[in-house]
């Protein structure tokens, strides 16, 4: 069998199961008594093992087998879950990920990568636990008793279930079962019949021990689709994919091929117990085509069928139906089907099964379910989205250009058309921006495991809480904040949360808490990282800064506590006594700050000694669009991003004071230094009585930028300039093109001040 086709399924299923397992494991760590998690994990391991074995990946199968065994031991309470076991389980998961990944690289074959040593070690660990704990002497009496009770319970439960099931199936065999088709499906059936295809209803029963149910059903559908068209499945395709079915499912399809050929093809798929194929042979006239057979007298039924067929040829359809209906004891008005073939039994089960059982199809057939799966999502490459984004921006620029050119025109029709155009372009732009939005969960979901591992390594107990992971951000922003967030979280674990002993001593809860919260505020997203750890010792920061020569002793003493805490954003500043595996790495908070500022965001820190630290990140929803204030400096136009601007004011020349040779103004009892960009741009400073000043903020300090003219607010598209010559230019964040085609540089305030 060509396995490569199923690699996709296998891959997806593997990821699903590993995720399921990992999530449950994390949950289990918090609530070790919760059997449900253990059961989920057991099932995940079991399913995974089955898949791997079917695909012929021995190493994965062996691994998952050991995990499954371990889970079984835990499940039956022969062993209590402790940290060492959790660690091994997590390690095992990592190894499984490595194994699955190595398959991906090599398509279908398992590769023994360089990590094989690790794999072997983890596997040995797993095996070691399993063998020691499986010995009966390792079981305490009490536990054994408990276990027995448990088993008994389970047994009675399962027999009870069985009985129930039998009752249901009996009921079903006695009742009328209906197949309902939607309009779409009816059309599909009709077209198929017109094309000379036969519509077949195939009921497939999988073996009881089948462990790859979703994949098996997918394989059946695949086979069927090779020779015909799939019309409907019961349960729906989605449910099949989700494994939301017991052992049997029904596939309705049209084909030109012979029934037996199809059957043989399906029969080649492993783990199938039974296949039955029935040919649907009449047109469907009403919404319901029901069919049911009583199997007591099959030969008679055949006759009936033939009779019906003959009558049908006589063209009196309604009559035929009526007659048929009467003969069939008026089961349904619209009996529209003739059974040609009834059933097949796989060689494995000698047991004959009644026809009715064959079609005991699910009693809950959702009516509105369109079985021909419609495409609801399309994958689109980032490049295409970026291109679209650029085009949309171009459109906006051109649109505003047209608006400019037609200003003053009085033609009502033209004005109407322009306003429509304006709305449409805005909408296109909005939609494209929306399409680029990705939920924060995409990066947030990595953190629980990371925090857990770090905490274990540091021997700390930490509760990690995530809120607002559903909030969406532009993918470019998301790309940029992953590393900074990791760094901040690492810091919280490493420097924030104290060791258990210290926490108890300082009267805190033994377990520390780190909270990662995201929240949307108008045009930006706020992310807080809050820990209830020891906070930052501002005195220590002062000392370090003085020692490193960043500030003088005197300056250090002058700093307020808040200001001292801000020192951690200074390049080259790190308070960790030694570089640890966790937050060392030579990446400082200044890098975090730079990264966040580079995408137009900012970061703030508040720390309370003994109580904890909060970082606040303010991020733009999207980096492609920014609100700017257009200003004139000399004869040139520049743009200042709005997120830097506090306000703009006009002052008299006389208001300018001089402090230590620097120009300042006083506003609201604050001394605001002035910056004249003219000199920077080699533009002569004009002599004017009135001055326009744009007050900008950096690290909660104000600076006034003297400009010659305020031109107004505008939403612009930042054009990326790939040229390395210009990257990292101080004071220059990029450029935008205005409606008139002019290029305007966007000022980068942080490096300018």
Known catalytic residues are 46, 68, 491
Put residue 211 in one of left, alpha, beta given phi > 0 → left and psi -120 to 50 → alpha.
alpha
Residue 731 makes contact with other proteins by CB under 8 A: yes
Residue 381 makes contact with other proteins by CB under 8 A: no
> Phi and psi at residue 618, in whole multiples of 5°?
-110, 120
Residue 390 makes contact with other proteins by CB under 8 A: yes
- CA gap 501, 666 in Å, rounded: 51
In this structure, are residues 533 and 496 in contact, taking their beta carbons and an 8 Å threshold? yes
Among 131, 319, 670, 729, binds other proteins (CB under 8 A): 729
In this structure, are residues 704 and 694 in contact, taking their beta carbons and an 8 Å threshold? yes
Residue 732 makes contact with other proteins by CB under 8 A: yes
Do you know the residue count of the chain? 753
Which residues in the 691-720 window bind other proteins by CB under 8 A?
Answer: 719-720
Q: How far is the CB of 742 from other proteins (least distance, A)?
A: 7
Nearer to other proteins, 259 or 719 (CB): 719
Nearer to other proteins, 659 or 725 (CB): 725
User: Looking at 201-209, 226-234, 676-684, 706-714, which segment touches other proteins (CB under 8 A)?
Assistant: 676-684
Cα dihedral sign, 667-673-677-683:
positive
Number of residues that bind other proteins (CB under 8 A): 28
Which is nearest to 143 in space by CA: 83, 73, 211? 73
Residue 724 makes contact with other proteins by CB under 8 A: yes
Which residues in the 610-639 window bind other proteins by CB under 8 A?
Answer: 636
Among 163, 195, 681, 713, binds other proteins (CB under 8 A): 681
Residue 730 makes contact with other proteins by CB under 8 A: yes
Nearer to other proteins, 649 or 738 (CB): 738
Q: How far is the CB of 561 from other proteins (least distance, A)?
A: 35
- CA gap 688, 565 in Å, rounded: 41
Centroid of chain to Cα 343: 44
Among 394, 557, 581, 662, binds other proteins (CB under 8 A): 394
User: Looking at 433-441, 444-452, 667-675, 734-742, which segment touches other proteins (CB under 8 A)?
Assistant: 734-742
In this structure, are residues 344 and 264 in contact, taking their beta carbons and an 8 Å threshold? no
Put residue 87 in one of left, alpha, beta given phi > 0 → left and psi -120 to 50 → alpha.
alpha
User: Looking at 124-132, 366-374, 505-513, 723-731, which segment touches other proteins (CB under 8 A)?
Assistant: 723-731
What is the 8-class DSSP label of residue 246? S
Q: Which two tokens stand for residue 598?
A: 């580079």
Q: Which two tokens stand for residue 67?
A: 């995990």
Residue 727 makes contact with other proteins by CB under 8 A: yes
Q: How far is the CB of 590 from other proteins (least distance, A)?
A: 18
Residue 684 makes contact with other proteins by CB under 8 A: no
User: Helix, strand, or coil here: 491?
Assistant: helix
Residue 375 makes contact with other proteins by CB under 8 A: no
User: Looking at 341-349, 513-521, 525-533, 728-736, which segment touches other proteins (CB under 8 A)?
Assistant: 728-736
> Phi and psi at residue 321, in whole multiples of 5°?
-65, -45
Q: Would you tell me the crossing angle of helices 213-227 and 4-30 to the nearest 10 degrees?
A: 160
User: Looking at 13-21, 31-39, 706-714, 727-735, which segment touches other proteins (CB under 8 A)?
Assistant: 727-735
Nearer to other proteins, 229 or 720 (CB): 720
* Whole-Å CA distances, 733 to 312, 349, 401, 627: 79, 74, 24, 13
Among 76, 744, 749, 750, binds other proteins (CB under 8 A): 744
Among 299, 350, 712, 741, binds other proteins (CB under 8 A): 741
CA angle 558, 561, 566 (to 5 degrees): 95
Q: Residue 20 burial by CB count (10 A; 0-12/13-18/19+): exposed, middle or buried? A: middle
Which residues in the 271-300 window bind other proteins by CB under 8 A?
Answer: none
- Site residues (vs other proteins, CB under 8 A): 390, 394, 397, 636, 677, 680-681, 719-732, 735, 737, 741-745
């Amino acid at each position: 069998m060509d396995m490569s086709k199923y690699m996709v399924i296998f891959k997806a299923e593997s990821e699903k199961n590993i995720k399921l397992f990992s999530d449950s494991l994390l949950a289990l760590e918090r609530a070790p008594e919760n059997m449900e998690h253990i059961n989920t994990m057991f099932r995940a391991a079991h399913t995974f093992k089955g898949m791997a074995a079917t695909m012929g990946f021995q190493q994965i199968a062996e691994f998952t087998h050991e995990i499954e065994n371990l889970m079984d031991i835990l499940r039956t309470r022969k062993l209590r879950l402790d940290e060492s076991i959790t660690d091994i389980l997590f390690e095992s998961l990592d190894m499984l990920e490595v194994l699955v990944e190595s398959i991906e690289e090599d398509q279908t074959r398992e590769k023994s990568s360089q990590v094989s040593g690790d794999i072997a070690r983890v596997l040995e660990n797993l095996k070691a636990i399993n063998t020691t704990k499986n010995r009966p002497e390792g079981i305490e009496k009490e536990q054994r008793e408990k276990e027995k009770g448990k088993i008994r319970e389970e047994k009675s439960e399962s027999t009870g279930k069985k009985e129930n099931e039998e009752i249901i199936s009996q009921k079903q065999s006695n009742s009328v079962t209906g197949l309902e088709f939607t309009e779409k499906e009816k059309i599909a059936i009709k077209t198929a019949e017109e094309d000379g295809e036969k519509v077949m209803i195939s009921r497939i029963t999988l073996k009881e021990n089948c462990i790859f149910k979703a994949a098996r059903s997918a394989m059946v559908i695949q086979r069927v689709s090779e020779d015909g068209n799939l019309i409907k499945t019961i349960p729906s395709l989605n449910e099949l994919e989700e494994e939301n079915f017991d052992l049997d499912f029904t596939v309705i399809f049209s084909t030109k091929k012979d029934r037996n050929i199809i059957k043989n093809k399906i029969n080649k798929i492993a783990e199938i117990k039974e296949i039955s194929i029935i040919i649907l042979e009449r047109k469907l006239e009403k919404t319901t085509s029901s069919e049911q057979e009583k199997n007591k007298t099959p030969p008679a039924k055949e006759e009936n069928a033939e009779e019906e067929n003959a009558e049908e040829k006589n063209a009196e359809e309604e009559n035929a139906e009526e007659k048929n209906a009467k003969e069939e004891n008026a089961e349904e008005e619209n009996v529209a089907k003739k059974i040609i073939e009834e059933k097949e039994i796989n060689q494995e089960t000698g047991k004959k099964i009644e026809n009715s059982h064959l079609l005991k199809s699910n009693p809950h057939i959702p009516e509105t379910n369109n079985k021909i799966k419609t495409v609801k999502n399309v994958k689109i490459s980032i490049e295409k989205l970026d291109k679209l984004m650029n085009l949309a921006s171009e459109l906006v620029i051109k649109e505003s250009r047209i608006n400019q050119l037609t200003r003053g025109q009085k033609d009502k029709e033209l004005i109407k058309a322009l306003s429509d155009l304006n709305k449409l372009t805005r909408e296109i732009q909005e939609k494209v921006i929306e399409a680029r939005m990705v939920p924060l969960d995409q990066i947030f979901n990595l953190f629980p495991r990371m925090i857990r591992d770090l905490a274990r390594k540091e021997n700390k107990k930490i509760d990690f809480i995530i809120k607002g992971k559903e909030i969406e951000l532009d993918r470019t922003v998301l790309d940029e904040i992953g590393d900074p967030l990791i760094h901040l979280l690492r810091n919280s674990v490493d420097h924030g949360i104290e060791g258990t002993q210290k926490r108890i001593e300082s009267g805190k809860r033994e377990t520390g808490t780190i909270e990662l919260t995201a929240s949307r505020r108008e045009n930006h997203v706020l992310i807080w990282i809050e820990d209830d750890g020891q906070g930052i010792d501002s005195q220590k920061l002062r000392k370090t800064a003085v020692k490193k020569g960043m500030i003088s002793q005197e300056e250090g003493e002058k700093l307020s506590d808040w200001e001292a805490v801000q020192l951690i954003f200074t390049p080259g500043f790190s308070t960790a006594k030694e570089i640890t595996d966790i937050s060392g790495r030579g990446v400082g908070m200044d890098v975090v700050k730079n990264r966040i500022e580079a995408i137009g965001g900012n970061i703030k820190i508040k720390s309370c000694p003994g109580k904890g630290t909060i970082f606040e990140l303010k991020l733009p929803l999207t980096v492609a669009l920014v609100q700017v204030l257009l200003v004139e400096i000399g004869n040139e136009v520049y743009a200042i991003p709005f997120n830097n601007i506090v306000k703009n004011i006009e002052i008299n020349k006389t208001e300018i004071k001089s402090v230590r040779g620097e120009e300042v103004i006083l506003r609201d009892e604050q001394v605001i230094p002035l910056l004249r960009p003219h000199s920077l741009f080699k533009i002569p400073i004009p002599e004017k009585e009135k001055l326009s000043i744009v007050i900008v903020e950096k690290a909660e300090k104000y600076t006034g930028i003297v400009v010659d003219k305020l031109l107004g607010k505008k939403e612009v598209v930042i054009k990326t300039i790939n040229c390395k010559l210009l990257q990292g230019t101080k004071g220059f964040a990029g450029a935008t093109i205005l409606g008139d085609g002019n290029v305007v540089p966007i000022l980068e305030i942080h490096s300018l001040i």
